[in-house]
Structure formats: structure tokens, C-alpha cells
Amino acid sequence: MCYRFYIDLFFKRKVNKLMAEKGIFVPDRDLGKLILPRDVHPTETALVIAGVKDQLAAGPMNWGFASPVDKGVLANARAESVKEKYSFSDSFMKRRCVIPTSGFYEWNVHKARFKFFREDEEPVMLAGIYRVESGISKFTVLTREAVGSMIGIHDRMPVTLTGEEIHQWIRDDDYAADFYKREPGELMREQDDGQISMDFGI
């Protein structure tokens, strides 16, 4: 699953470099706390990259679609069924997005927390979809079955992509259709006590 990700001290410099290299427009350069070090939880606002007319643009969105059955939010959507689910299918077909992060957390059955991040410490890009609810743009993160370094921690994990895949994920419908099935990139896993596993995954 993915119920919390984080922004570290180096995120601002790295994500600005990434957006400049990929030609991603930032309408408001004063992104405030969106690029400051912090943990991000569902319902909070994060920096999200999406298609706007003929270009990609980065701006704020709130994490989680409104749930149709209770007062909670839908923070995740299963990639395997996102095209069929009523709550997600229209967004998947028309409004795909990318959430840049420094990494994300997951907890095992013993409540131990693990941090997942790229070995080269570049941003971890989460694949998502979005929609507008009552004038507010909201996103949810796609998940897939666990592979690599996530195995043994949880049975689900976020769908991730590289900076090179941002345009294809957002713009190319054929590419996006089976995107989660591709061989994912590598992530490091680190437990809260600071011990680092050299397993790779995602």
C-alpha cells in the first residue's frame, strides 16, 4: 500500500532540476511547504505533475479521492483493476499524474516501519490518477503486488516510474494500459533503526 511518503532536505533542488530537464511547467514558482522536508499523509497537499493542454505542469493537489461509502478517502487504487472500477476508470483514461517524492514508508506485521528510496537518491516518482471534486484537484496513488525489496514487508506497493517515463505515463494511453506489469526499477529498503538492506525492488 502507500499511506505515507516523505520529502527530504534535498528534494527542492532535485525536483526543480528534474522539471527543468523534462520541460515541466510550474505556474507558481512559490511552492511553499510542498517542497519542504516533511512526511505527507492522505488528505494533505502534495506536489503533483499532470497534463495541462499541450504540456505537463506541476502544482498542488490533495491526496485521496472522497470515498463513496464513508467519510474517509481513497488514498490508493489497485493498478490491476483501475480500468474497471467506477471510482477510478474515468480518471485512469483521462487524468493520469505523477507524484514526485523522496521515498515512501511501509509497515510490516510487527509494526516496524521501513523506508523505501532510490539508491542514487533521485526522486521516487509514484504513478497516480486525479480528478476534481468541488473545485479541488485530488489524486490517488496506484499500487501493485509487492516485488523485490518490498517482499516480506507488505503484499502491496506503489507503482513507481523513472523521470524518463513521466511523459509516457501521462500522455500515452497504450503505454499506460499495462504499465504496472513492466519490470520495475530498483529501490533500497531501510528500517527505522538505520540498518540498510541491500535488497532491490520495485
| DSSP one-letter code for 152 | T
Number of domains comprising the chain: 1
Residue 40's CATH number = 3.90.1680.10
SS3 30: coil
Q: What is the pLDDT of residue 195?
A: 47
> Does 202 fall in a domain?
no
Residue 26 belongs to domain spanning: 5-197
- Taking Cα atoms as reference points, which of 105, 64, 109, 133 lies closest to residue 192? 105
Partners of 108 in beta bridges: none
pTM over 0.75: yes
> Does 92 fall in a domain?
yes
Q: What is the pLDDT of residue 17?
A: 93
Burial of residue 13 (CB within 10 Å: 0-12, 13-18, 19+) is: exposed
pLDDT values of the chain reduced to their tens digit, one per residue, 202 residues: 789 999 999 999 999 999 999 999 887 666 778 999 999 999 999 999 999 888 999 999 999 999 988 889 999 999 999 999 999 999 999 999 999 999 999 999 988 999 999 999 899 999 999 999 999 999 999 999 999 999 999 999 999 999 899 999 999 999 998 888 887 788 999 997 644 443 433 3
> Does 83 fall in a domain?
yes
Q: What is the pLDDT of residue 30?
A: 66
> Does 148 fall in a domain?
yes
> Does 66 fall in a domain?
yes
Q: What is the pLDDT of residue 199?
A: 42
